[in-house]
Amino acid sequence: MAGFSAGTLRGPGKNIIIVKIGSDEVKLYENLYKEDKINVFKGDRFSLIDGKYKNSRGWSADGTYQFIIKADGGFVLGQGGHIDLARGENVQYAGEVRFKKGKLIEWSNRSGHYEPDSSDASKFIETLRKNGLKDVNMDNFKPIKQ
């Protein structure tokens, strides 16, 4: 990616990359299992309609969905592996969101391929809200010890 420069820091059991984008330093999590097959995935956008999260077909979200925040700040939400959503690339954050009949129940940092630190979660609340997850907050965050 143009405009990026990187240095590698070793974290507990994972690689963390610090990239410089303009004058900002951005922490990225590397895919820990680069040998895993990446499946083709098309993400789906969710919107809050009449108090329920619905996908582009108008169906209420129900169950667990994975999300990633890409290196460039882009957002993908869907059902599939994190590496599929990210196409194996480094991410700023990854986790899961659980819905029941269109209502957001909880979200977490659960991701075996990226193992993001739960302490970073609060940094991404605004990004998640801008992308349709208006009910995300630290009260419904369930940290996963990686």
In tens, the pLDDT along 4-63 reads 444 444 444 457 888 887 788 889 999 999 899 998 876 666 777 887 888 878 888 899
**Parent domain of 133:** 33-140
- Strands of 12-139 (E only): list them: 14-21, 24-29, 47-49, 52-54, 63-70, 75-78, 91-100, 103-108
Hey, which residues does 67 pair with through a beta bridge? 77, 95
- Taking the C-alpha atoms of residue 68 and residue 31, their distance in angstroms, rounded to an integer, is 12
Residue 117 lies in a domain: yes
Residue 6 lies in a domain: no
- Taking the C-alpha atoms of residue 128 and residue 136, their distance in angstroms, rounded to an integer, is 7
8 Å CB contact between 123 and 24: no
Residue 39 lies in a domain: yes
Which has more confidence, 137 or 23? 137
* Predicted TM-score of the model (pTM): 0.83
In tens, the pLDDT along 88-126 reads 999 999 999 999 988 899 999 999 999 999 999 999 999
Residue 106 lies in a domain: yes
Residue 52 lies in a domain: yes
- Taking the C-alpha atoms of residue 12 and residue 5, their distance in angstroms, rounded to an integer, is 23
Residue 28 lies in a domain: no
- Taking the C-alpha atoms of residue 61 and residue 66, their distance in angstroms, rounded to an integer, is 12
Number of folded domains in the chain? 1
Q: Identify the burial level of 124 via C-beta atoms within 10 angstroms of its C-beta, where 0-12 means exposed, 13-18 middle and 19 or more buried.
A: buried
8 Å CB contact between 66 and 14: no
